[in-house]
Structure 1
Amino acid sequence: MRLVLALTALVSALPVAYAWGAAGHEIVATIAQMHLQPPVMRHLCAVLSSDADFDRTRPCTLAAIAPWADKIRMHARWSAALHYIGARDDHPPDSCAFPGARGWAGHEDINVLHAIRNVTGILDGFVARGGVRRASAKEMATASEALKFLVHFVGDMHQPLHLTGRDRGGNGDKVAWNGRVTNLHSLWDSLLIAKALRTIPRNYTRPLPVPPMEAVLKGTIYDPYVRRIMYEGVGLGAYSTVRGRWEDEVEAWLDCPAPPMQSFLQRPLQAAFGVGARSETDDGRICPHAWAAPIHKLNCDFIWPRELDDPAYPHMHAVDAENELRDAMEDYGRRGRSGGHYLELDTPEYAGAIAERWVVEKLLAQGGIRLAGILNDIFMPLTAHNNND
């Protein structure tokens, strides 16, 4: 069953007329909100408005809650492992296992893929029991927390370095960016997006002729970037004669392959080829493993520079806490100075090729489209329930 996108309603059915950093998470959430069925956003706001942290002085948006799961990690340490996943046999660019014969590192069911499955299950149960109109205060609090986690985790799943365990997802690999020291993970979390924001054509500072889309934008620094992703990437359908570069494939981003068989004899074979992991999280409706697998592959295709395995380039692998603290202090003292002998990645060959291929923009768009599809699918039944009451 294909998840429902409001993009069809927004651009086809109408008459012709910082995981990522906070900014990345908010961009994913903003694109998702543009593709929600109108009744769904009202249901989501009703859930969020029960939260003690809900700011009633500001508009209700998914972007406002998108970074929440990162903000609580310091005092909710149990949630840290839910932001990523790593396979024991994965070591890009040479080995690209997802998960491979030895499965996932850590607890096999405590990772971003299972987290998405779990929180969607919580929200499914909330809707099946009647949603806001019939929920207790405790059920409302649980649904609000599940919703905030879902918005964040879908974003995390579309950051490729959240899908590999090598060197803690690249956190342990120092590189240079425009002459300054950083690490591979931070480059993908924030620096590529920051560079894209600085190079947006000036005309995207003006509103596009799509009122439902513009109504979601709230005057943020990344509004022009979202406009460009929508106009040139996703496409505006009936609102524009210019077709987006992915317009013909957007609906397919929501497709889920049929779940694999689970007979006793098949399980060893499934485990050897990583299929068993998919059966634990995926069904024909929501399939985080199937969606994440090609994103993970990008780590081997081009994200992980092969030069990082050259002994000539120093980089920090997993170290004990004392050494990690020392390295962090050295990095702090090095800020603003040259990246020196670290591998420079703000180059035409690396950052330039990523920008030319619109890799980051497509990942952000896919995250938004899939988040919208999940939320539409979960919450649209509430509209039918309410109409029948």
Structure 2
Amino acid sequence: MIRWLAALAVALTTLIASPASAYWEYGHGVVARIAYEEVRPETRAKIDALMARYDAVDTPTCPFDTIEDVAYWADCVKPLGDRYAPAFPWHYQNVNICETFSLSEPCANGNCVAAQIERHARLLADIDLPMHERIEALAFLTHFVGDLHQPMHAGDMADRGGNDVPANYGLLKGRRLNLHAIFDGYLAERAFTTSPGGARGLVSTYDRATLEAYKGGDVVQWSREMWIVSKDYAYPLLLDTIPCDTEVTRKTLTEEDVQVLIPIMREAAVKGGMRLARLLDDALSEGKAPRFRRL
């Protein structure tokens, strides 16, 4: 788990952010908070009731004090070893942007984020399941919707979601800095703290009709949207092209590139929050198990 150091100072035209935490904390929290404030009151009450019973899950190092804690839980439990090791591939799907979009191969045997969103929404809706299973389902669902709306979890060039693409973030350079880390950390916090920042700030820039429209579609459509962001923006802005047949050398994501990406990241987070709210309302207030089209 990468903990970001303090950022470098602003220099020339390249502004560098200093994230206190990465997407898996800050970004997930924003998506979850948007959803929590968007759901029906009765849904929120049921979320609170599940959160209050978090002891049933028996992960005391990863408590549920806030909805942001719930969103982060799926990453928090990764160090617990074999207990949650099978969940590692559920956080992403990385459909190759150099090929035709399809979830068939990345989601084989259900080991991808889209399939696990469906699965955990169904588990959450099943009131006959033991309490600890439904609490875990709430946490996994909340986290995975956030994961899907981080573009580097949805599309790549067979490079482990950009982890194998060395990159600089403006003047910030480092051996371990790569495209995935930039989206997870510096770019995520830059996008979500740019005024108006935070969950309410992000949502305030959209009208109600647009927000309701974001709730539409299914997990396949949402996956394709984020794949397109990766294909049309994340890689081209960094590399000037998509070098599908050539080795990628270290490039720099410039301030101009960041300014293009900020509204795209913000929109993705708002979409994620609205879609998570829909899934939570369906599962907890309607008892509806999502049945999306085949992956």
Identity %: 25
1:299 aligns with 2:243: no
Q: Does 1:185 align with 2:180?
A: yes
1:162 corresponds in structure 2 to 153
Separation in structure 2 between the aligned mates of residue 312 and residue 59 of structure 1, nearest angstrom: 43
Mapping of residues 4-15 of structure 1, within 5 Å:
none
- With over 3 angstroms needed to count, the CA separation of the structure-2 counterparts of 1:140 and 1:312, relative to structure 1, is closer
- Distance in 2 separating the partners of 1:45 and 1:198: 26
Q: Deviations over 1:175-234 (max 9, x none)?
A: 00122231111111121122235643xxx5xxxxxxxxxxxxxxxxxxx433321222x3
**What is the Cα-based RMSD across aligned positions, in Å?**
2.6
Question: Which residue type is aligned with residue 273 of structure 2?
Answer: G
TM-score (norm 2): 0.77
Q: CA deviation at 1:303?
A: 1.1
Which residue of 2 is the match for residue 229 of structure 1? 202
Are 2:89 and 2:111, in contact at CA under 8 Å, matched by a contact in 1? yes
Offset at residue 106 of structure 1 (A): 7.1
Q: Look up the match of 2:3.
A: none
Structure 1 alignment gaps of length 5 or more: 1-17, 130-134, 205-223, 236-246, 257-286, 315-341, 383-389
Out of 25, 29, 32, the position equivalent to 1:26 is: 29
Give the superposition deviation at 1:19. Answer: 9.1
Change (3 A) 1:119 1:288: same
Larger radius of gyration: 1
Q: How does 1:122-201 map to 2 (within 5 A)?
A: 122-126=123-127, 129=128, 139-165=130-156, 166-179=158-171, 180-181=173-174, 182-196=177-191, 199-200=194-195
**Which amino acid in structure 2 is aligned with residue 66 of structure 1?**
A
Q: Which residue of 2 aligns with 1:353?
A: 260
Q: Distance in 2 between matches of 1:187 and 1:71?
A: 20
8 Å contact from structure 1 (residues 83, 162) kept in 2: yes
Preserved CA contact (<8 Å) 1:19 1:162: no
Selected match of 1:254 from 215, 229, 240: 215
2:89 corresponds in structure 1 to 81
CA drift at 1:63: 1.3
> Counterparts of 1:69 and 1:176 in 2: how far apart (Å)?
28
TM-aligned CA deviation for residue 97 of structure 1: 2.6
TM-score after normalising by structure 1: 0.59
CA–CA separation in structure 1 for the residues paired with 2:191 and 2:155? 24
Check if 1:62 corresponds to 2:67.
yes
Runs of 4+ in 1 over 6 A off after TM superposition: none
Residues 96 and 300 of structure 1 are in contact (CA less than 8 Å); yes or no, is this contact kept in structure 2?
no
The aligned length equals 252
**Deviation at residue 372 of structure 1 after TM alignment:** 0.7
SS at the partner of 1:66? helix
Whole-angstrom CA distance in 1 between matches of 2:107 and 2:279: 27
Distance 1:54 1:39 in 2: 26
1:366 aligns with 2:274: no
